[in-house]
Structure 1
Amino acid sequence: MSPYRGEVLVMAGEVLVAGDVPVAVREAVTGVVAALEDAFNRKDAEALGAQFGERASWTNAAGRRLDGRAAITAFSGPAMREFLKDSYARYEVVKLLAVADGVVAVNVAQTPTDAAGRPVEGPHGRALYVVARQADGWKIVAGQNNAVDAQSAA
């Protein structure tokens, strides 16, 4: 039995939308994900951090929890210059779930790519972002990234 019985389920392109997520909110939230992808692929820690709320809580694929935009930005700079320097990815929003007014849960599939955006072998990611309307725009306020092997990602 579906937990969404009686709720609105819509396919918006390839994205499953559960609940009332107006088009403008969909665009804003997917814009956050696109900006996060762009910042990661450019290795721009400031731009990446700017996608998070001031009081965000983030758990990375290695299981390390980072609390607050400043901590996320501070960790991301060295990580992207060092062990992630040759890592690139494509982020695909696969589901939006209306949680409350101004709060959307976002499931994201991450595919490893080369610097030109072509898929490559390597661990995939499955992330859950909670994106909320903040004073400075839509921001990730909580989330977790999970590394998965390519077979599990299929």
Structure 2
Amino acid sequence: MTDGILVVGDISARAQAAVTGVVKALEKAFNAKDPIALSEQFALRTSWSNAMGTRLDDRRSIAESAAPAMEGFLCDSYARYDVVKLLEIAPNVIAVSVAQTPTDSSGNPIEGAWGATLYVISEQEEGWKIVAGQNTAVESSSA
């Protein structure tokens, strides 16, 4: 276990930092309501299912879907993304379990829907990127 993160497999400190960095960049983009920065955390070829159950299969689709959501129903939604588990699937392919805590714009936890997210992040030519994932809304903090 590293800094409260359960690490399963032989994941180097460099890979752990890179993967956690992807998650934190995703959090920053979500909280800034920046659909382009958010989509850039995904590989060009990806498969993503958002909390509404919509599957998006490339970076462009993710940006196009995120933009109206961030301007609309998510405009006042903020969250903290905490990596809770890293599981080595294969060399340079890591499953990442993330707990999403609803926050106010200052980062203070608030009541609201939590998220339990699973990302598969792998090292690509352009760096570590999300290649697949599923976001699930949950009612309590049991994420």
| TM-score, scaled relative to structure 1 | 0.91
CA contact 2:5–2:86 (8 Å) conserved in 1: yes
Per the alignment, residue 138 of structure 1 pairs with 128
Tell me the number of residue pairs that the alignment of Structure 1 and Structure 2 aligns: 143
Between the aligned partners of 1:134 and 1:22, the Cα distance in structure 2 is 16
Q: Is residue 129 from structure 1 mapped to residue 119 from structure 2 by the alignment?
A: yes
Per the alignment, residue 87 of structure 2 pairs with 97
Residue 51 of structure 2 aligns to a residue whose secondary structure is coil
Residue 150 of structure 1 aligns to a residue whose secondary structure is coil
Between the aligned partners of 2:119 and 2:142, the Cα distance in structure 1 is 20
Unaligned runs of 5+ in 2: none
Per the alignment, residue 28 of structure 1 pairs with 18
Residue 98 of structure 1 aligns to a residue whose secondary structure is strand
Unaligned runs of 5+ in 1: 1-10
TM-fit CA distance, 1:102: 1.1
Between the aligned partners of 2:9 and 2:75, the Cα distance in structure 1 is 38
Per the alignment, residue 15 of structure 1 pairs with 5
Q: Is residue 77 from structure 1 mapped to residue 84 from structure 2 by the alignment?
A: no
The sequence identity of aligned pairs, in percent, is 58
What is the identity, as a one-letter code, of the residue corresponding to 1:79? A
Per the alignment, residue 106 of structure 1 pairs with 96
In the superposition, relative to structure 1, how do residues 27 and 69 fare at CA in structure 2: closer, same or farther (>3 Å)?
Answer: same
What is the identity, as a one-letter code, of the residue corresponding to 1:134? Q
TM-fit CA distance, 1:117: 0.3
TM-fit CA distance, 1:152: 3.9
Stretches of 4+ aligned residues off by more than 2 angstroms: none
TM-fit CA distance, 1:13: 1.1
Between the aligned partners of 2:5 and 2:142, the Cα distance in structure 1 is 20
Report which of the two structures shows the higher radius of gyration computed on alpha carbons.
1
